[in-house]
Structure 1
């Protein structure tokens, strides 16, 4: 009689086999310290039942012992039982054992292939899942509706769009193109590869869409920088009567955050509460991020305080919110509270170092950088180094910043060299700026921003030959400056403005308001800084060019379109220029308005002639 002895440990207790089930499986208790499983004379069906239970409970050690028993009795290569064993090993992430057993079994069973492909698609190496798929096809086994989602998941993990296209062809040939689960997997694969147009084509061809498919397409838009499309699709989802999930709301609220679309964010807040998601901490965390990015830090903190549990991602959202607004001390105080109960991660320190950077806290920044490495054993990423180099460089310690770059254990990216170039602009170091520019050109020769900064550095130094050199270089390479545009939302409608824009229906009223405000600014002591404007333009043209920057047009529109003393929220796709930063301080005082300005890097809150950044940016 074959016996398998199983040690009685606390680990085994968790399986909680009922007495009746133990009796059916032949369990016999011999003492309080060990159990012996009597497994002879069991039927094929009973073996399958035992393996199913082991798989459900991830009971790998009893499973291995049962495998040994089946090997002795000659049943280990029985196709059905062996497939169950492969499933057990894959579920417990013992893929080597699963693959070894798989290689010894007849392979006409599509379920067997699916089990092993799923194991590699979930746990990697993902390339093996794709290799198995093609072996399966070559073996003459036709993939079914379960095969394709696993294979497409592997393609997503590898961002292997070319392979995904080929798998899509197999889907079409086998007639599964309208299956909702395969459709969701295809949408996810194309979205993870950055191809939202193909993802949308797949989505549109599936008539019966479940919430998983909708969520896949929403996530595709959200993750690829199409927040407006994400919000539009979310509206279509509601009109189709599909009840959202937590994932739906988190994706949509995050898209509203990316756009700083406060009215839509508020609508989603109310919508989620009406549907009963007011106790979902994931939704609340997304709302914290949305309100912070929309300029309402107090509301963000209120939502944050209402969280029943605060995982690290929630702390990160609030710390980062304070950091981007320049409220460094609030961010650091929150970090101190966080560390009493929660261990920070690398994202936490991105927020903390960003807070030190935006607040000009050099010594604090150094302390937290050392704390991250030595206390929390977190290896710095390029994001951490970018913040430190920007912080050190802002203080004029350019040699120290450059030395830090040379000692980085990771390869510097454009963010790192860009931070150094910006610091060179602040402190007028032409030589080091030229070196930073060379590195940036190596990384991305087509990106225009670095040439504009270098041109400004030359202009500040009075080196107009250098300015001309940059202009000729950009013309020769057909590199054009990014159009600077700003936008403001009034009465739930977004109004966008380009520099020198004359296309707005209220153009005449906007220009008149700008002239009125500029006259008052000049009387109050405003002096335009025309240094960065091209030297071959006369002074009047320089002043006119500055006055018609996109952010000033957006502010003027806000002034004539909203009641007095209404707070204005302006967003811009580039950094605010030095002259506009000074000008908006004057505008906030003259008009008695609070003007919240979000550029590509951070928030500036202008009130009573003062900016929240303390002129450190």
Structure 2
């Protein structure tokens, strides 16, 4: 007896006789595209879209490419399908290079970039920042240097966003001197390039050089101030951090959290609490900083009372409290809290596993 067929999705009802595709227009196919829930659905729509000539309709093409580039899990198959198209526009390549850069496989963006060159499609001012960010995320210094050499052969070597991307790539790959060379070689520097260079120095622990650059900045934004305050606070220069904080023309929650965390890291919970009370808008990070601070000072009772007062509890706050009890060798209490957690992540399990391992209670 024939089994009853499952319900077919709306987008899988196309007749796959190519002669039948002629009755579909690009406009009539786009609504089906947005309903795609799987790669199988997508193939049912994309093939007639190609036959209908959507690559000749720039507006439709942008809509399709924008939609597809956000479907990270479909990228492999989508790229294969789009290779059917002769001489695709650069922005199509850019969209999928960016899609890979934002995925769990950013190195694929570099592969696609090389395919783009192989197909004689010239990179533009968007291509280089996207692929350089992929190099930064993958810590692919060699590939980044090769792309830098290619950039120098194009007029885009003077583009501010391309130059800023080079600074970011080198700093992310640990080559802070190369990042500085790119920065110093810029005939005109914008705020983004200054911020990237300062952020690079801070992340590499060279806070004093970052501060020198900060003092030279022709203009600053919130990011500039926050990076310096956070960097100074984390390296123990809390008084300098406080001086900058007091000079800020404007503050956001990141500013407040950075300075409070600085005091908490130094064990000065009195100053941290005083600032906490002044924060006009507290978020879960603000509360977690206080909770962590008291736990680090072995004031686990106060830490727990803060946990109880928190208007919102998330995995960070649960893990922080449990970790605090573990540090105070109160493993039984930590385990009871672990059992009460509404949800757990890898950090939660690692905290408890490490606790039992250190206590010699691992089975």
State the TM-score, normalizing by the size of structure 2: 0.79
Alignment match of 2:343 (pick from 359, 366, 376): 376
Equivalence for 2:332: 363
Q: How far, CA to CA, are the matches of 2:46 and 2:148 in structure 1?
A: 41
In the alignment, which residue of structure 2 is the partner of 1:323?
A: 295
Q: 1:90 aligns with which of 62, 69, 75?
A: 69
Q: Following superposition, which runs of at least 4 residues in structure 1 exceed 6 angstroms of deviation?
A: 62-66
Contact 2:292–2:324 (8 Å) recurs in 1 = yes
In proportion to residue count, which structure has more strand?
1
User: What are the residue-to-residue correspondences of 1:359-438 with 2, within 5 Å?
Assistant: 359-372=328-341, 375-380=342-347, 384=351, 388=355, 401-404=359-362
Matches within 5 A, 1:125-524: 125-237=105-217, 241-245=218-222, 247-272=223-248, 275-277=249-251, 280-338=252-310, 340-345=311-316, 348-372=317-341, 375-380=342-347, 384=351, 388=355, 401-404=359-362
Higher helix share: 2
1:61 and 2:30 correspond: no
Q: Deviations over 1:385-438 (max 9, x none)?
A: 58625xx85xxxxxxx3443xx6xxxxxxxxxxxxxxxxxxxxxxxxxxxxxxx
Q: CA deviation at 1:135?
A: 0.9
Moved more, 69-78 or 221-230: 69-78
Deviates more, 1:181-190 or 1:291-300: 291-300
Aligned with 1:330: secondary structure?
Answer: helix
Structure number with larger C-alpha Rg = 1
Q: Matched residue of 1:341: which SS? A: coil
Deviations 1:241-265 (A, max 9, x none): 21222x3232211111112212211
Cα gap change, 1:202/1:111 in structure 2, threshold over 3 Å: closer, same or farther?
A: same
Deviations, residues 494-532 of structure 1 (Å, cap 9, x unaligned) = xxxxxxxxxxxxxxxxxxxxxxxxxxxxxxxxxxxxxxx
Distance in 1 separating the partners of 2:148 and 2:45:
37
2: distance between equivalents of 1:104 and 1:194? 40
Equivalent residues of 1:353, 1:368 under 8 A apart? yes
C-alpha change, 1:177 and 1:310, in structure 2 (3 Å) is same
How far did 1:354 drift? Answer: 4.2
Deviation at 1:70, TM superposition (A): 6.3
- Provide closer, same or farther for how the CA distance between residues 371 and 223 of structure 1 changes in structure 2, counting only shifts above 3 A: farther
CA distance in 2, matches of 1:110, 1:99: 14
* Distance in structure 2 (CA, Å) of the matches to 1:317 and 1:183: 36
Change (3 A) 1:202 1:73: closer
Range with bigger deviation, 189-198 or 97-106: 97-106
Partner SS for 2:116:
helix
Q: Output the CA distance in 2 between the equivalents of 1:156 and 1:331.
A: 38
Residues 187, 203 of structure 1: 8 Å contact kept: yes
Partner of 1:116: 96
Deviation at 1:100? Answer: 4.2
How many aligned positions are there?
Answer: 336
- Worse overlay, 380-389 or 259-268: 380-389
How much does 1:210 deviate? 1.9
Q: Displacement, 1:302? A: 2.9
C-alpha displacement at 1:291, in angstroms?
2.1
The structure 2 residue matched to 1:71, chosen from 25, 37, 49, is 49
Rate the CA distance shift 1:176–1:370 in 2: closer, same or farther, 3 A.
same
Q: Deviations over 1:440-482 (max 9, x none)?
A: xxxxxxxxxxxxxxxxxxxxxxxxxxxxxxxxxxxxxxxxxxx
SS of 1:123's partner is coil
Question: 1:251 and 1:72 mapped to 2: Cα distance?
Answer: 47
Check conservation: 1:357, 1:387, Cα contact below 8 A. no
Q: Is the 8 A contact 1:350 1:383 kept in 2?
A: no
Deviation at 1:333, TM superposition (A): 1.4
Greater relative CO (CA pairs within 8 A, separation 6+): 2
How much does 1:183 deviate? 2.0
Change (3 A) 1:244 1:367: same
How far apart, CA to CA, are the structure 2 residues paired with 1:385 and 1:225?
Answer: 31
Query: Structure 2: any 5+ residue segments left out of the alignment?
Result: 1-9, 11-22
